[in-house]
């Protein structure tokens, strides 16, 4: 039995990735965080015994412990970990010369959810991942994590938290690649937001569907490279971004 844990799978890319892994025959443990989204329940009903919604707040170690206990009830290993849960936050309080003062509590929240959360999850689930065959760790990052190519002049909170995530992934890679783990950092593109009824909110015509991004992610997440020792940030078009 191949198994995957996906955080932030209530909607959007996380939910679409759950669908993709189900198509490949995986048993999916889908992290649930949003109380007003029931899309995972529908997917679980369509896939009895193969998709398990698991309450999971990646910013709370006790929630991660509970999720570990829940996943352990159904499986003795995890082949793949996909970190998708993220806190976007609004643009307020996070720009120099903004109308409002910068809020350090919100800066901390972004780092806690987007960078520390994935690290805590990998640490907690490491025994199950160690027992898995694939040992593949995938992280949803962002184009705005790239310091080298950053062009924005405001709203730094989300961007800097994804840079912190890249750093955490680099350090996990340093520790775990020699032990047989392989890593993926994925830039999913600017996606339409999925609403509680499953519809997609189209804010801009340049946005892409989460399902499209998930389909483009799968060859990256499931494939093998000759140069697995190299950590790279790959986008949904296959381009490699500098850090």
Contacting positions for other proteins (CB under 8 A): 61, 95-97, 101-102, 104, 107-108, 111-112, 115-116, 119-120, 122-123, 126, 145-148, 150-156, 159-164, 166-168, 170-172, 174-176, 242-243
Nearer to other proteins, 55 or 154 (CB): 154
Instruction: Yes or no: say if 192 and 210 are a contact pair by the CB < 8 Å rule.
Output: yes
Nearest-approach distance from CB 8 to other proteins, in angstroms: 18
Instruction: Yes or no: say if 165 and 85 are a contact pair by the CB < 8 Å rule.
Output: no
Nearest-approach distance from CB 80 to other proteins, in angstroms: 17
Nearer to other proteins, 24 or 175 (CB): 175
Nearest-approach distance from CB 3 to other proteins, in angstroms: 20
Nearest-approach distance from CB 224 to other proteins, in angstroms: 23
Nearest-approach distance from CB 125 to other proteins, in angstroms: 11
Instruction: Yes or no: say if 32 and 10 are a contact pair by the CB < 8 Å rule.
Output: yes
Nearer to other proteins, 127 or 196 (CB): 127
Which of 53, 75, 17 shows the shortest CA–CA distance to 221? 17
Instruction: Yes or no: say if 240 and 234 are a contact pair by the CB < 8 Å rule.
Output: yes
Q: What are phi and psi of 102, to 5 degrees?
A: -65, 135
Nearer to other proteins, 68 or 156 (CB): 156
Nearest-approach distance from CB 201 to other proteins, in angstroms: 26
Task: List beta partners, residue 184.
Answer: 138
Q: What is the largest CA-CA distance in the chain?
A: 53
- The neighbour count for residue 135, using CB atoms within 10 Å, is 19
Nearer to other proteins, 91 or 220 (CB): 91
Nearer to other proteins, 140 or 214 (CB): 140
Nearer to other proteins, 137 or 217 (CB): 137
Which of 155, 162, 160, 150 shows the shortest CA–CA distance to 91? 155
Nearest-approach distance from CB 45 to other proteins, in angstroms: 35
Q: Are strands 51-55 and 27-32 parallel, antiparallel or unpaired?
A: parallel
């Amino acid at each position: 039995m191949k198994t995957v844990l996906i955080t932030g799978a209530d909607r959007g890319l996380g939910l679409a990735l759950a669908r993709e892994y189900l198509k490949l025959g995986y048993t999916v443990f889908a992290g649930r965080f949003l109380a007003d989204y029931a899309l995972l329940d529908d997917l679980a009903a369509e896939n009895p015994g193969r998709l398990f919604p698991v309450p999971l707040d990646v910013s709370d170690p006790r929630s991660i412990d509970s999720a570990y206990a829940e996943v352990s009830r159904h499986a003795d290993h995890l082949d793949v970990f996909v970190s998708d849960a993220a806190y976007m936050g609004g643009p307020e309080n996070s720009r120099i010369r903004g109308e409002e003062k910068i809020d350090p509590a919100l800066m901390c929240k972004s780092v806690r959810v987007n960078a520390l959360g994935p690290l805590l999850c990998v640490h907690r689930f490491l025994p199950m991942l160690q027992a898995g065959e694939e040992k593949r760790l995938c992280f949803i990052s962002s184009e705005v994590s790239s310091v080298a190519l950053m062009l924005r002049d405001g709203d730094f909170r989300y961007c800097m938290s994804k840079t912190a995530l890249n750093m955490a992934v680099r350090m996990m890679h340093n520790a775990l690649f020699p032990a047989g783990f392989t890593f993926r950092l994925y830039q999913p593109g600017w996606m339409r937001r999925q609403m509680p009824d499953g519809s997609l909110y189209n804010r801009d015509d340049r946005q892409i569907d989460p399902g499209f991004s998930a389909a483009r992610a799968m060859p990256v997440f499931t494939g093998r490279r000759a140069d697995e020792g190299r950590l790279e940030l790959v986008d949904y078009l296959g381009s490699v971004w500098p850090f």
